[in-house]
Amino acid sequence: MNYTTQMDAAKKGIITKEMQIVSEKENIDVNLLRDLVANGKVAIPANKNHKSLSAEGVGEGLRTKINVNLGISKDCPNIEPEIEKVKKAIDLKAEAIMDLSSFGKTEEFRKKVVEISPAMIGTVPMYDAVGFYDRELQDITAQEFLDVVEKHAKDGVDFVTIHAGLTKVTCDTFKKNKRLTNIVSRGGSLLFAWMELNNRENPFYEYFDKLLDICEEYDVTLSLGDACRPGSINDSTDASQIEELIILGELTKRAWERNVQVIIEGPGHMPINDIKANMLLQKKLCHGAPFYVLGPIVTDIAPGYDHITSAIGGAIAASCGADFLCYVTPAEHLRLPTLEDMKEGIMATRIAAHSADIAKGIKGAKDWDYQMSEARKNLDWEKMFDLCIDEEKARKFRKESMPKHEDSCTMCGKMCSMRNMNKILDGQDINILRDDNENVTSCNQ
């Protein structure tokens, strides 16, 4: 039986090879997974032209996935450092990579990333349009925006961020409800400018059916972007954000009718006490579609540490229903991240995702922690290193400060609680002050 997209296959009762791969990775019954895809609760972004892909599922009942942003820009147009980041992100087990390139050899870079990456690839075609046509934003036509989307789809991109919810109505709401930080989404601000300069409706909303034609043809998942996401905790959960979310829910239904998979993008900056309500609102208004959040960043005062502010918000968001976390690096708000910044962002986000999976009761999530705790109890350092989320860093720290007694560390030495509890429960003397070669008497004698 033929099918056009993963969702089309699922609705027809077909189990695709991508569903089988995801089922095995997640240890979930493949028939249940197929039903979740059919109902839009899980998306499996898998462009027909992405031949190197190892499929991942995003959504209900699955592990929380993470995304890494990278790409070339006018200030940093060199492809090679970004390719190095792609390879490192894959090594560090990121499930998705978003190419946010906006200048230079964007097509060459995009094709190379698709060629080498088993991780799913996302883009924001709006970013690429100005450089692609080498014309000012105002002069690009609605059809030309769609043509760029189709170009990305042909190149094998698995999901595209499209800010289709920023309509004239949304813009009016924004103008009537002043914000501290206005529209901080790069794609959203570009679209808002285009609409204002041309006095036109958002082309991605006006020609949404044509957009769906492209997504259906290549099986590109539509990541409905949050142009009105808050860029400060002051603007969280305001009228503009909610107005756009309602429209995204309507567009989700239209996409599903065409068998196009959907992911909903969510808030950026948000105080902790707003997070749970926002996760509930998204799931309600967007009919249970997978939710993808940037952070959320829970305080605005920590440039240089926003991988931490983001991980705090991400862990809470995912524990309350978010399915997909976009990483944030220490360089957020400051500059293009370096390779080391990227690693710090990935690790912080992976920790947040795993912490949320424990809270959500994802099958097998706690097993990893159990094994680590068992290795700690047994003072099995090699097992601990093997289980570390960042083995390289853990080994480095240990090597930099080796203890006199190898069954301890330089923090506690022979006062190590694990060491001493093991000994005392085994009927041995704990021997804190004496050298190990001195004669001691068992505490049981």
pLDDT in tens, 112-158: 999 999 999 999 999 999 888 989 999 999 999 999 999 999 999 99
How many whole angstroms separate alpha carbon 384 and alpha carbon 376?
7
CA atoms of 118 and 437, how far apart (whole Å): 54
pLDDT tens sequence across 188-230: 999 999 999 999 999 999 999 999 999 999 999 999 999 999 9
335 appears as a binding residue in the annotation = no
**50 marked ligand binding residue:** no
Whether residue 133 is annotated as binding a ligand: the answer is no
Gap between the Cα atoms of 76 and 48, Å rounded? 31
205 is in an annotated binding site: no
Is 46 labelled a binding residue? no
The Cα-based distances of 294 to 173, 208, 299, 314, 442 in angstroms read 23, 24, 13, 8, 57
Domains within the chain, CATH numbers bracketed: 36-359 (3.20.20.540), 364-400 (no CATH), 412-445 (no CATH)
227 is in an annotated binding site: yes
Binding site annotation covers 269? yes
* pTM, full prediction: 0.94
How far apart (Å, rounded) are the C-alpha atoms in residues 401 and 161?
46
| C-beta atoms surrounding 87 within 10 Å | 12
- Tell me if 69 is assigned to a ligand binding site: yes
Residue 98, marked binder: yes
Whether 258 has a pLDDT exceeding 50, the answer reads yes
333 is annotated as contributing to ligand binding: yes
The pLDDT value given to residue 355: 98
Is 304 annotated in some ligand binding site? no
Residue 443 assigned as binding residue: no
Ligand-binding site membership of 376 (annotated): no
Per the listing, tokens 């680590």 go with 372
